[in-house]
Amino acid sequence: MLTLHYFSKLLTNPNHPYFNYKQSRFLQRLQDARPSVVPSFFTRAADFLHDLNLDTAQLLPNPVILLTPWIPDGLKFLNPFENYDKTNTVSDIYLQIFAHHRELYQHFIPVFTDGSKRTTQTSFACVFINSTLSFQHHPTCSIFTAEIIAILHSLSEISNYPADNYIIYSDSLSVLQALSSLHRHSHPLAFSILDLHDRLVCTGFSIFLCRVPSRVDISGNEIADTAAKNASAVLDNPIPLKDFKHYINLALHSRWENHWNSQSMNKFRSIKPVVEPWPTLTNRKADTIITRLRVGHTRYTHRHLLMAEQALCQSSTCFLNAPILTIYGYVTFNPVLFP
């Protein structure tokens, strides 16, 4: 995991001396001739990526961040629904609010965007008045990335039209909040949106972002949602580093879990059936006691080994009519505890 994390981080830094490193054929032949020798870092990383079917994935380079304290960073967005709780508001109220909002911005061309995430597919859609664009993205990308790519793709399409007024609608409040408050750790595509938005504004465009609630029968948003789920065309865009590393973590964790489940003869599997970490107690002494009880390493069961004495149980069953002396047997079959 550490190898893939560092290798993926290297691929996103164009200033790294090994950014475009290509391993020589001589070194590859040398490694093939000596399989007992540990392969180089790049060979191991390439083998891991191939094993995870990620050898053709392209990563998004780190953006050049030009944030200045005297210029507000980020895009402000409209939110006419901010005072309404979705759990306590019927769809008709939202439709009335949206109709009033469109009256106020009737001279702005609406563009609806949406993202979709399933197990094997990440996709997005952009709905214009006369056209609908929908694409699949790499399945490693998150739903957040799908939503933010939809906004970026909308701006890119708007740049092909004459200067006019536009409103881009999105049902992802987290994406709009992220775009309104940029910092050095923001999503890399957020800076691309800010740069493209500023360039369009300088050429005469007027572009607003607006949040709309999902699944309240707003026509454009419903069309975008359906188009995103049914996208078939593939858009080969680079993958953000954070999404790539998260996918690697999930894939390796899944393989680790499957390997652990196959260990039927391992006595520790009955103690810890899943590969999730145990919660850590604030009291170190109590944490140590609980851990020893879990794995069965106690003075009661192992004193004869430490003191070179005769074991309490010499047969397959102990005096408690339990299996060979263990903490589990003592707690489960002790007639004092369970008369």
- Structural domains in the chain? 1-52 (no CATH), 76-237 (3.30.420.10), 267-338 (no CATH)
User: What confidence tens digit (pLDDT) does each residue in 204-217 have?
Assistant: 999 999 999 998 99
- By the 8 A CB rule, do 203 and 161 touch? no
pLDDT of residue 271 exceeding 90: no
Q: Would you state the structure tokens that stand for residue 186, as one six-digit string?
A: 């923001």
User: What confidence tens digit (pLDDT) does each residue in 136-158 have?
Assistant: 999 999 999 999 999 999 999 99
Residue among 243, 206, 5 nearest 115 (CA): 243
Task: Show the CA angle centred on residue 322, arms to residues 319 and 328, nearest 5°.
Answer: 120
The count of C-alpha atoms lying within 13 angstroms of the C-alpha of 57, restricted to the half-sphere facing its C-beta, is 29
What is the reported pTM?
Answer: 0.83
The helix (run of H) or strand (run of E) holding residue 326 is none
* The pLDDT value given to residue 299: 79
Residue among 41, 317, 11, 66 nearest 195 (CA): 66
- By the 8 A CB rule, do 320 and 334 touch? yes
With a pLDDT cut of 70, the percent of the chain lying above it is 90
pLDDT of residue 134 exceeding 90: yes
Distance separating alpha carbons of residues 200 and 203, to the nearest angstrom:
5
User: What confidence tens digit (pLDDT) does each residue in 77-117 have?
Assistant: 999 999 998 888 999 999 999 999 999 999 999 999 999 99
User: What confidence tens digit (pLDDT) does each residue in 294-338 have?
Assistant: 888 887 777 777 777 776 654 444 544 444 567 777 777 666 656
Distance separating alpha carbons of residues 249 and 257, to the nearest angstrom:
12
Neighbours of 84 (CB within 10 A): 13
* The pLDDT value given to residue 322: 44
Distance separating alpha carbons of residues 208 and 277, to the nearest angstrom:
45
pLDDT grade for 41, boundaries at 50, 70 and 90: very high
| Residue reference for tokens 């090994």 | 18
- By the 8 A CB rule, do 182 and 71 touch? no
With a pLDDT cut of 90, the percent of the chain lying above it is 61
